[in-house]
Amino acid sequence: MKIAIVGAGAIGGFMGMRLARAGFTVTAIARGATADALRRHGFRVDSGGERISVPVRVATDAAEAGAQDVVIIAVKAPAMAGVAPMVAAMLGEDTVVVSAMNGIPWWFGAQLPVLGGARPLESVDPGGRILAAIPATRVIGCVVHMAASVSEPGVVRHALGQRFIVGEACGAATPRLVGVADALRSAALDVDVSSAIHRDIWYKLWGNMTMNPVSALTGATMDRILDDPLVSRYCLAVMAEAAAIGRAIGCPIEQSGEDRQQVTRALGAVRTSMLQDVDAGRPLEIDALLSSVREIGQRVGIATPSLDALTGLARLKARTLGLYPG
């Protein structure tokens, strides 16, 4: 199996290392310092007190990599418009695209009739250009539950977790889904196969759509956000709106916001991925985590005043830092 990793950061680098170590033919699509580091040292992952290094083929041009059996996309959502043509260049007749990304992906509404079927979500795919390059029929959704960061180009610091939920948008247990799941399991990853991947995506989003932007606004770790009663109550209001939207689109949340916050509290003083992006001067995933939920709410007729305020504040903060367009 030929597997390309698009986005050799924390998630992509970890998955790529495991897959390469398991014997798959892995190509990392990378540029700049990351490409240089991968060429010199291969994938490097610091985990459990040891450093694991595995050689990998590196391509700066996706066309150079050629058609792949599987393309794993592990980039931040703001990069997708630029990445889509690269992915398209690696699509053979039966290539499968695995989207291992935060928030609402470009293909989310394509097989949900309540959202207009093939009508794209403008907040994450303006004009449907990504969907045109990477059709939803190519995609297997992947929800990642792990904590990792990039300590320097080409080096992943793995903190905890390695759980991956994969599923077809249509919910079917197709041969290609079984093949992807088996490949990930052979790479010593914890894999669950889902018949409702939209619901799994929505549940993870519901859990991190408040912590991420509030941390970016305040610079606070998750424990401090939850320790402030006014802020934690506001987060619960946003989560209640998102839960109502989830029910309307067939993605109900079977947990209270308070219980979810207790799960978050157990993680301790975590610096969220969006706060890390602020510190590093990287574009923020506001549209995938917030704007897309507002757009879906508008389509199903659910008002989101708390979410509207959070989206506006996060967007303004990002624009003042030059980390969001407009």
Domain spans in the chain, listed from the N-terminal domain onward: 2-195, 201-320
Structure tokens at 289: 């985590």
225 residue type, one letter: I
Span 168-172, average pLDDT: 89
Residue 165: exposure state from Cβ atoms within 10 A (0-12, 13-18, ≥19): buried
Which of 247, 249, 217 lies closest to 235 in space, CA to CA? 217
pLDDT at 271 over 70: yes
Contact at 8 Å (CB) between 248 and 112? Answer: no
pLDDT at 116 over 90: no
pTM: 0.95
3-state secondary structure (DSSP) of residue 196: coil
Give CA–CA dist 166/168, Å, rounded: 7
CA 246 from chain center: how many Å? 18
* CATH, domain 201-320, list 3.10.310.10, 3.40.309.10, 3.30.450.20, 1.10.1040.10: 1.10.1040.10
Give CA–CA dist 43/16, Å, rounded: 7
Phi-psi region of 48 (alpha: psi -120 to 50; beta: other; left: phi over 0): left
pLDDT at 112 over 90: no
Span 29-58, average pLDDT: 96
Question: Per-residue DSSP letters for 231-246?
Answer: HHHHHHHHHHHHHHHH
Q: In 10 A of CB 67, how many CB atoms?
A: 15
Span 168-191, average pLDDT: 96
Percent of the chain clearing pLDDT 90 (strictly above): 94
- Residue 169 pLDDT grade (very low, low, confident, very high; cuts 50, 70, 90): confident
Span 60-85, average pLDDT: 96
Give CA–CA dist 304/291, Å, rounded: 11
- Residue 20 pLDDT grade (very low, low, confident, very high; cuts 50, 70, 90): very high
Q: Please indicate whether the domains covering 2-195 and 201-320 agree at the CATH topology level.
A: no
Give CA–CA dist 175/172, Å, rounded: 9
pLDDT at 245 over 70: yes
Which of 312, 292, 308 lies closest to 80 in space, CA to CA? 292
Which of 27, 180, 173, 215 lies closest to 98 in space, CA to CA? 180
Give CA–CA dist 226/214, Å, rounded: 11
pLDDT at 280 over 70: yes
Question: At 261, phi and psi to the nearest 5?
Answer: -65, -35
Q: Which residues are catalytic?
A: 204
Q: Which helix (H) or strand (E) holds 25?
A: strand 25-29
Instruction: Kindly report the average pLDDT of the chain as a whole number.
Output: 96
Span 246-253, average pLDDT: 96
Q: How far is CA 245 from CA 94, 133, 147, 242, 294, in A?
A: 34, 28, 27, 5, 9
Residue 259: exposure state from Cβ atoms within 10 A (0-12, 13-18, ≥19): exposed
Question: At 174, phi and psi to the nearest 5?
Answer: -80, 160
Q: Which CATH class is domain 2-195?
A: alpha beta
